Structures are given as structure tokens and as C-alpha cells.
């Protein structure tokens, strides 16, 4: 028979286990409501505890209930000398030119898609992605190299969690809404200026774009 002490231990252990069940996946990457509704529900119920816990690690919880995603990012706390108080746990990645360009194009496409008031999921074919980026390439670019470049770039963006390939439909991708958290409204407002910069860079040969 479980005594009072055992009961207290059980109830204190349960929240810790639930907290770990949420924090561990968040440390690995983005948590989506659609991918795991049960875990998402647990996150919402333990949101305050999760924020307190990851703060000890120098992280903050970024959660968007409307869009259905959550992730961790490093806090930008600094001391009086401008030095980071805590070491960075979540590493930043330097994005290559093709990746940043395609992210920008996909983000703009998502904004247009949302403005149309249609479905909540933006699904694109590889051919549609190729057409998005084609206008930035020199006339007469090698079609085979272009498609290979797009595939390589899409794979990198998928690794970052901004898109996912649809099961059984290798040529179809879904643009994940977390891209809105990394390419914000102000960034999008400067889109035309950024595209002008991209057009200058595109003068380099296509084979040099995958650096």
C-alpha cells in the first residue's frame, strides 16, 4: 500500500517527468501542434514552468499559439561590459546565399498566401519553387544545374525546419509557418531592397552559388 510519503514523491515526480517530456523535444528543435497534439497540450499547461526551467539554461521559450509552433532561442542578456552572461546553448547558423534567398522568397509567398484568405497550409511543388528563383538567374542558366541547386537548397531548408517534404510526394513541400518567426514583418517590408542586393550577387556563376 502506498503511504503518504510515497504519494508525495509520486506527485512531485510526475510534474518533473511531464516537464522533461516537453523540454527535451524543444531542445532538439521546433515543436508543432499539428505533429504532436498531446505534447502541445502538455506544453500549454506547463508553459510557465517550461519558461522558468529553460531560463536557467540561458534560453527563452518562443510560443505562438495561433500558428501552432514553439521553439527555444538564446537569451541576449549581457553584463555591463557588453559580454554575454551565459554561454550560448543554441548555436546560430550562417546561411548561404541560396538558402537566404529562397527563405525570403518562401516567406513572401506565405505572406501573399495568407492575404488571399485560402487554406492554412502553403503547399508548393518543386517546379513552382524553381520558377520562384529562376528570375534571379542569368539568362541561359543550365536547367539541370538549376534543379539540382534547388533540390540541395530545399534539403538544407528542410533541415532547418522551415519546410517539410510531403510523404509519398517527394516533389511537394509544405512551407512551415515558423518561417514567420525568423523572417519578420520589418524584414519583409525591406524585401524589395534585399532582392536588389540579391540580383547583384546573382551575377556569379550558378555553380558557385552553393558555397
Give the DSSP letter string of 120-142.
SSEEEEHHHHHHHHHTTSPTT--
* pLDDT for position 58: 85
Rounded-to-integer distance, Cα 133 and Cα 122, Å? 17
Backbone phi, then psi, for 22, in 5-degree steps?
Answer: -95, -45
pLDDT at 5: 47
Q: Please provide the average confidence, as pLDDT, over all residues in the chain.
A: 77
2-43: per-residue pLDDT in tens? Answer: 454 444 443 344 567 888 889 998 888 888 888 889 999 999
- Confidence (pTM): 0.65
What pLDDT does residue 209 have?
Answer: 46
Q: Longest C-alpha distance within the chain, in Å?
A: 79
- CA distance to 31, 72, 91, 94, per residue, from 27 (Å): 10, 7, 11, 20
With CA atoms as reference, report the closest residue to 202 among 158, 148, 125, 149: 149
User: Quick one: pLDDT at residue 145?
Assistant: 82
Question: Please, what are the domains in the chain?
Answer: 4-74 (1.10.10), 97-208 (1.10.10)
State the pLDDT confidence band at 80, using cuts at 50, 70 and 90.
low
Report DSSP state, residue 208: G
Amino acid at each position: 500500500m502506498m503511504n503518504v510519503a510515497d504519494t508525495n514523491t509520486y506527485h512531485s515526480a510526475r510534474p518533473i517527468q511531464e516537464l522533461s517530456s516537453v523540454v527535451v523535444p524543444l531542445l532538439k528543435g521546433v515543436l508543432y501542434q499539428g505533429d504532436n497534439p498531446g505534447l502541445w497540450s502538455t506544453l500549454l499547461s506547463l508553459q510557465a514552468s517550461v519558461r522558468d526551467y529553460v531560463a536557467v539554461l540561458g534560453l527563452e521559450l518562443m510560443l505562438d499559439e495561433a500558428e501552432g509552433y514553439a521553439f527555444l532561442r538564446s537569451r541576449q542578456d549581457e553584463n555591463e561590459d557588453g559580454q554575454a552572461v551565459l554561454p550560448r546553448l543554441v548555436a546560430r547558423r550562417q546561411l548561404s546565399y541560396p538558402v537566404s534567398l529562397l527563405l525570403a522568397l518562401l516567406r513572401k509567398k506565405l505572406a501573399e498566401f495568407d492575404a488571399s484568405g485560402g487554406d492554412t497550409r502553403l503547399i508548393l511543388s518543386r517546379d513552382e519553387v524553381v520558377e520562384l528563383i529562376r528570375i534571379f538567374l542569368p539568362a541561359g542558366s543550365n536547367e539541370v544545374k538549376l534543379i539540382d541547386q534547388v533540390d540541395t537548397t530545399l534539403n538544407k531548408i528542410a533541415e532547418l525546419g522551415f519546410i517539410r517534404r510531403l510523404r509519398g510526394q517527394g516533389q511537394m513541400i509544405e512551407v512551415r509557418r515558423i518561417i514567420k518567426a525568423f523572417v519578420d514583418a520589418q524584414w519583409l517590408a525591406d524585401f524589395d531592397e534585399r532582392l536588389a542586393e540579391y540580383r547583384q550577387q546573382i551575377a556569379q556563376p550558378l555553380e558557385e552559388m552553393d558555397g
